[in-house]
Structure 1
Amino acid sequence: MNTEAIRLSNQLAEAVPLLAGSNQRHDYEGALELVEYLIEHEPNNPLVDLLCARIAHYEDNDPAMADFNSRQREISTGPGVLRVLIEQHNLSLSDFENEIGKKSLVSRILSGERQLTVSHIRALCARFGLSPSLFF
């Protein structure tokens, strides 16, 4: 058993309470700030994926967000943001090859057949100077 890993994971949970299952709004907001910082400064940090998963869990289960969540389920945010980027910057589907891939994949994301991955979101945020929270 790796006691050092357990000790460090306990310290991480203490430093970022949302990772330990906190349902406090301020812990959620702190996690949002941390993930935004990491995506800007250390996008390959494995903590990004953990934080994104816990943020999504919090948002899906927070009673204060229930009304928003029900309305949100009716629209798909990632494709919506992608459509706005295409329109605002006068881009074509093939202009996202570096961030997403071939235009056929971009088309499938826009149609709802596929979803944006964390890697896609990181790349789009870096290219357009966006906050990752737009996609969640």
Structure 2
Amino acid sequence: MDLQIIKTDKEYQNLLEWVDSQFDLDIAPESKAGQHLQIALLLIKQYEDLHYPIPSPDPIAVVKLKMDEKGLINKDLVNWIGSKGYVSALLSGKKPLTLRIAKVLHHKLGIPAAVLLA
């Protein structure tokens, strides 16, 4: 396979099919063929980043999701970030997510900082 910058969807699809066939061969990553495959994957990623960007999630929606996963309710956040009214206003979007609160939520809920600061 001759590797080059992907410019069309057809080239993208062809390279995806080629990569798929290479995975079936169980190629060693450090081999020449493995390095060729890694370059192909970088080209695919570059094309996907340009043509199929993934939007950043809404930070408050992620906080609510994490709360749901951990079985937390609004009242559980009061000790971390403020009054019940403030927590309610924050989760409803009426109050902004400050850097201090983002740090607390990052540490307490394990949400990546990049998501909270998006």
TM-score (norm 2): 0.47
- Larger fraction in helix: 1
State which structure, 1 or 2, has the greater radius of gyration over its C-alpha atoms.
2
Identify the structure with bigger relative contact order (alpha carbons < 8 Å, sequence gap 6+): 2
